[in-house]
Amino acid sequence: MVVIKIKNNTFTLHPSGAIFWHEESMLLIADVHLGKVAHFRKHGAAIPAHVGHENLEKLTEVVNEFQTKTVCFLGDLFHSVLNSDWEDFTKWIEYTHASIILINGNHDVIPKYLFEDLGVQIFDQLIINTFLLTHHPTEREGLFNFYGHIHPGVVLSGEGRQKLKLACFFKTNTSLILPAFGTFTGKYILNPSKDDEVFVLADGEVVCVT
């Protein structure tokens, strides 16, 4: 794990792709895409069924590790409409001790009342102190933006012609993009400038490659 400071607040970057905000006892998690595996299997894709359960297992582990008070999903918690993963999610909600917030994403099409019936708070965006929590990149003067949506990745080149595409936390002067938390989500390759900071997820570690 890597600990960074932003606007005098402390954040731990976790190898799962989550961020723990110490002052708020809040986990920030982007792009879980629950139900994506079931969706593709329904349409004939040869994906092992167990892959779909890995996301909730990983969620449970990281919530328990930090004993967080709040989990804030930065959009695209579910991939599409209701499927078998919804029942698993409702059981997960019953199990977890944390309060749950969902920032609406472009894939979040499940009716809001179903989440609200589970006690999940839903927002289009959320401002806490000088931090803006969204799904899409959003500029607001004086606020630092945490968001997802992009599924950021970078290409690392080694000696010879080896190349690795790795998911990453991608930090600029005014924002931080979280990697997709969910499996089977893909990556969008970004090219950092000299002012950006990049923290890749590699072999269960977070490594700064700036």
Q: Are 133 and 106 in contact (CB under 8 A)?
A: no
Q: Are 106 and 149 in contact (CB under 8 A)?
A: yes
E-only strand ranges, the chain: 2-6, 9-13, 19-21, 26-29, 70-73, 99-103, 121-123, 126-128, 131-133, 144-147, 152-157, 163-171, 175-177, 188-189, 197-202, 205-208
> Among 7-11, 35-39, 85-89, 159-163, whose mean pLDDT is lowest?
35-39
| Res 41: pLDDT | 43
Confidence of residue 23 (pLDDT cuts 50, 70, 90): very high
**What CATH number is attached to the domain comprising 67?**
3.60.21
119: Cα separation from own chain's centroid: 20
Total number of domains in the chain = 1
> Among 13-17, 29-33, 55-59, whose mean pLDDT is lowest?
55-59
Edge to edge, the sheet with strand 99-103 lists: 2-6, 9-13, 19-21, 26-29, 70-73, 99-103, 121-123
Distances (CA, A) of 192 to 14, 136, 148, 167: 21, 19, 17, 13
pLDDT single digits (tens) 30-54: 999 887 554 444 444 444 455 556 7
pLDDT single digits (tens) 71-128: 999 999 985 555 677 888 899 999 899 999 999 988 677 888 999 999 999 999 999 9
Statement: residue 168 has pLDDT above 90: yes
Q: What is the pTM of this model?
A: 0.89
AA letter at 164: L
- Of the candidates 205, 191, 182, 193, the one whose C-alpha atom is nearest the C-alpha of residue 156 is 191
Structural domain of 104: 2-208
